[in-house]
Amino acid sequence: MLAKKILVIAQRKKTEALRMATGLTLLDDVVTVLVCGTLDDSEDASEQLEALAFSDVPVTQLDNPGNFYRAMAQAISQADMVYIL
């Protein structure tokens, strides 16, 4: 079976999106994460970022609101599955 390209967009529930992306790494699929805006400076978010880094999952943080939709559209067009939280 071919690996799927899974995109997780962290928009409102950012820490939960990171947690979900961490869980998706168990499927042997390619996972990428886009974070719209800033992340909480919490221990939970740091743990999830560390787990994603360990699994070589790219996490892109979009700081400029003017670029959110362009970056999301480009990433969505390259993904097989998209989760927006």
pLDDT class of 67 with cuts at 50, 70, 90 = confident
Domain 5-84 has CATH 3.40.50.1100: yes
pLDDT of residue 30: 96
pLDDT at 79 over 80: yes
Nearest one of 29, 31, 36, 30 to 13, comparing CA atoms: 36
**Average per-residue pLDDT for the chain:** 93
pLDDT at 54 over 90: yes
pLDDT of residue 66: 85
pLDDT of residue 14: 96
What is this structure's pTM? 0.92
